[in-house]
Amino acid sequence: MRVVIVGGVAGGMSAATRLRRLNEEAEIVVIEKSGFVSYANCGLPYYVGGVIEEEGNLLLQTPESLHARFRLDVRVSSEVISVDAMSKTLVVRSGSGEYELTYDKLILSPGAAPIVPPIPGVERAMTLRTVEDVDRIVKKVAAQPRTAAVIGGGFIGVEIAENLVHRGIKTSIIEATAQVLAPLDPEMAAPVHLELRKHGIDLHLSSAATNIGSADVTLADGTRVEADIVILAIGVRPETTLAKNAGIDIGPRGGINVDQFNRTSNEDIYAIGDAAEKTDALDGSATLVPLANIANRHGRVVADHICGREIRDVKTIGTAIVKVFDLTVATTGWNEKRLTAAGVACTSIHTHPNSHAGYYPDAKPMTLKLIFDPKSGEIFGAQGVGIDGVDKRIDVIATAIRGDITAPELADLELAYAPPFGSAKDPVNMLGFIAENVMSGLLTTVQWNDVANLEAAGYTLLDVRSASEFAAGAIPHAVNIPVDELRSRSHELGGKKLAVYCQVGQRGHTATLLLQELGFAVVNLDGGYQLWNSVQQEGK
């Protein structure tokens, strides 16, 4: 049996090596368009910034090492230019010549191509997808440009911008939407914007690039952004040319349509990685998630199916993480924006816990957001932003989503605890406690973006922080009575409807329950003053 794999890196090489482990006799041929078949493309931005000092550290395997260990026939700098599905034949271009290659099973792993907008001067911009791309960028950076513009504020755009700053280059991010990192909801993106600006990055939000000149980029609002170098990081589009030409079905999201075995509409052709559509775990719809861990799993699934092994049908929840200078930013599942647009009823809660016990040195704050079904408690998604400890909390919640654990049941998880690592009530447990309180009707919460309408609805804003905290900054028109004085001063509130807040929500929760016991109609501001204030900083 001859298996031909078009494309290496994560998906293609996972398929190839898994196939060999399962079948010593199969002939396995890997055709790779670039000169490198196995490399850590997620590390490319950090090589630009000098964080990863040697390019060789990104090169995981070579054709020679893969042949020595796995007896793989790896052909780099070779491009499959056509597929004849009827005759099971490929045409491969290598150097100045072409040749035909037959297959029994074909695995398409061509990845995705960077989106290049049709704007004047775009040929001066560079993309970052391959080792060849990073070599071009590094060569430009070595010439010591003074300014750079990154068009696109997604994961790659933010990463490359940070690394250009590490090289001492004055850098701007140009993003057509109102925020960077689209998987985040606006209030969670706000501290990321502050972090980027703190490190000298100029953010140009809600304005698209319309022209790339010799030394600048012009935006839709007329702004001219200085740019000795320009990097496109708008996003990627599934590479489907071969599949289309072979008569293979393309899915509704523009990727190659596959079944649970990653098999295409042709039973002898599979598609994996960024080129293939995935199935969303929440609603079963087709989705595109260009992440390396999913591509690796695809490769294993296809190899197992070809070799007759049982396959688990696994849908995607889109868990991702990115470093933004001193911050860790992570997401899993759907965000509130997407749920609202889809008409899905959801409840959100925010917390601001420490990474570990506050009395142990170097505890760092974070902000967590959990989104769930207000009736069933099904967890729809979560987001986290902070300096330390965000990754493991989002990973726990991603695991909970996979295991059908509900939001209140997060309180029941037994998570490892010692003061240097966490708290007796872990931040994940606390999210569960709060979700249980909200779902049970013990208290009612309102969100940061409800504040403007509270007064119109007849509510008095009650700040239960200390007098010194209140003096340092408060929500306009709020009344201040510290939580410890509420019992003796509750008569000052009369029969008013109250919207209570503190710094992060904990004292507000205590005050809310007390005031309810005293007969007041009261709601608690979820996430407290800290969350509300972080969003207000965007306009300053």
Residues annotated as catalytic (active site), given as ranges: 42
Give the ranges where 386-524 is alpha helix by DSSP (H): 390-402, 427-440, 451-454, 467-472, 486-489, 506-517
Q: Which of 350, 346, 392 is nearest to 506 (CA)?
A: 350
Which of the 8 DSSP states describes residue 111? -
Do 529 and 536 meet the contact criterion of CB atoms below 8 Å apart?
no
Query: How far apart are alpha carbons 212 and 310 in whole angstroms?
Result: 52
B/e letters for 312-345, b = 16+ CB within 10 Å, e = fewer, are eeeebbbbbebebbebbbbbbbbbbebbeeeeee
Query: How far apart are alpha carbons 473 and 502 in whole angstroms?
Result: 11
Query: How far apart are alpha carbons 379 and 371 in whole angstroms?
Result: 6
At CA 124, angle to CA 204 and CA 35, rounded to 5? 115
288 CB-side CA count, 13 A? 20
How many angstroms separate the first and last alpha carbons of the chain?
65
DSSP for 321-341, please give it: EEEETTEEEEEEE--HHHHHH
Do 428 and 393 meet the contact criterion of CB atoms below 8 Å apart?
yes
Contacts 24+ apart (CB under 8 A), 377-380: 377/406, 377/407, 377/408, 377/409, 377/435, 377/439, 378/404, 378/406, 378/407, 379/333, 379/405, 379/406, 379/407, 379/410, 380/282, 380/333, 380/334, 380/339, 380/344, 380/346
User: Which pair of tokens denotes residue 313?
Assistant: 């049908």
**Left, alpha or beta for 360 (phi > 0: left; psi -120 to 50: alpha)?**
beta
Query: How far apart are alpha carbons 511 and 499 in whole angstroms?
Result: 10
User: Which pair of tokens denotes residue 517?
Assistant: 């016991």
516 CB-side CA count, 13 A? 15
